[in-house]
């Protein structure tokens, strides 16, 4: 290709393999599909449904999150949440649940990092008081349950990296637990010892007093003094 130079040459740059590779990479990045408001909804979406059963209602709640797959079949393939539906026989919460699902779906479709939703929802407290789930996890409200369901979904599709405990940490907690049980009796068949109290970090009834320190047998949080 020839270019006619009509102006004075004031500088020049030699094209190298690196600069052309960089330009190609940038072009590729720009061509990638991303989540934004105007992404058209495909005819078929893949999804997961989570069941929530609380002691506050006899009917379960079913949370369905559907995902869109962007850049399908390429190395940049990613799964992003597209919409959420919540179903229940219980009509008590109908209007605010419907409002919540519409708002959350809108946030999903806007794109960007939707993970903040999880923290916001999990922090909602019900003034009537929360309840404990199996395994000793404290649930402050129904809204928080929805937050946990979205969190496990985002972990499942890789948007939230799960916290992985090292083998060393696991071993340490296992030892602590055995030590505690030796002093206070076995808690076999239960997730955590009966005397355990609520850990503020992981919201699990798994904190025990050992050697003057409150130690969480679930997440390893420790407070001394």
Q: Select the span of 11-19, 39-47, 110-118, 214-222 touching Zn ion (CB under 5 A).
A: 214-222
Q: Select the span of 12-20, 64-72, 132-140, 216-224 touching Zn ion (CB under 5 A).
A: 216-224
> What is the DSSP secondary structure assignment for residue 143, as one 8-state letter?
H
Best CA proximity match to 50, nearest among 147, 116, 186: 147
User: Coil, strand, or helix at residue 81?
Assistant: strand
Q: How near is the Cβ of 217 to Zn ion at its closest, in Å?
A: 8
Give the integer Cα–Cα distance in Å for 140 and 119: 13
Q: How far is CA 106 from CA 38, 109, 204, in A?
A: 11, 5, 32
Does the footprint of Zn ion cover residue 126 (CB under 5 A)?
no
User: Coil, strand, or helix at residue 32?
Assistant: coil
Does the footprint of Zn ion cover residue 69 (CB under 5 A)?
no
Q: Select the span of 103-111, 128-136, 139-147, 209-217 touching Zn ion (CB under 5 A).
A: 209-217
Residue closer to Zn ion, measured from CB, 147 or 220: 220
User: Contacting Zn ion (CB under 5 A), which of 159, 199, 205, 208?
Assistant: 199
Does the footprint of Zn ion cover residue 202 (CB under 5 A)?
yes
Q: What does 41-52 look like in DSSP terms, one character per residue? A: PPS--EEEEEEE
User: Contacting Zn ion (CB under 5 A), which of 33, 179, 181, 221?
Assistant: 221
Please check whether residue 204 is in contact with residue 218, taking contact to mean a CB–CB distance below 8 angstroms: yes
Does the footprint of Zn ion cover residue 66 (CB under 5 A)?
no
Does the footprint of Zn ion cover residue 216 (CB under 5 A)?
yes
Instruction: Tell me which residue has tokens 């309840």.
Output: 131
CA 174 to chain centre: 26
Q: Select the span of 35-43, 49-57, 162-170, 210-218 touching Zn ion (CB under 5 A).
A: 210-218
- Encoded tokens for 59: 């009917």
Does the footprint of Zn ion cover residue 121 (CB under 5 A)?
no
CA 94 to chain centre: 25
| Contact track, Zn ion, 146-185, x by CB under 5 A | ----------------------------------------
Give the integer Cα–Cα distance in Å for 153 and 118: 10
Does the footprint of Zn ion cover residue 201 (CB under 5 A)?
yes
Task: List contacts with Zn ion (CB under 5 A).
Answer: 199, 201-202, 216, 218-219, 221
């Amino acid at each position: 290709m020839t270019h006619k130079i009509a102006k004075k040459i004031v500088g020049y740059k030699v094209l190298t393999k690196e600069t052309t590779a960089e330009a190609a990479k940038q072009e590729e990045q720009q061509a990638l599909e991303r989540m934004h408001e105007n992404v058209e909804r495909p005819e078929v979406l893949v999804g997961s449904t989570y069941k929530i059963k609380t002691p506050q209602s006899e009917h379960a709640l079913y949370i369905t999150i559907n995902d869109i797959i962007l850049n399908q079949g390429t190395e940049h393939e990613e799964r992003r949440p597209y919409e959420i539906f919540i179903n229940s026989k219980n009509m008590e919460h109908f209007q605010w649940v419907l409002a919540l699902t519409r708002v959350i779906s809108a946030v999903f479709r806007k794109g960007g990092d939707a993970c903040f939703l999880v923290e916001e929802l999990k922090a909602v407290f019900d003034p009537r008081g929360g309840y404990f789930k199996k395994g000793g996890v404290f649930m402050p409200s129904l809204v928080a349950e929805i937050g946990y369901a979205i969190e496990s979904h985002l972990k499942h599709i890789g948007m939230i990296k799960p916290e992985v405990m090292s083998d060393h940490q696991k071993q340490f907690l296992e030892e602590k637990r055995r030590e505690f049980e030796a002093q206070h009796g076995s808690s076999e068949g239960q997730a955590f010892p009966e005397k355990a109290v609520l850990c503020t970090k992981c919201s699990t009834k798994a904190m025990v007093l050992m050697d003057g320190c409150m130690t969480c047998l679930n997440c390893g949080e420790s407070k001394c003094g």
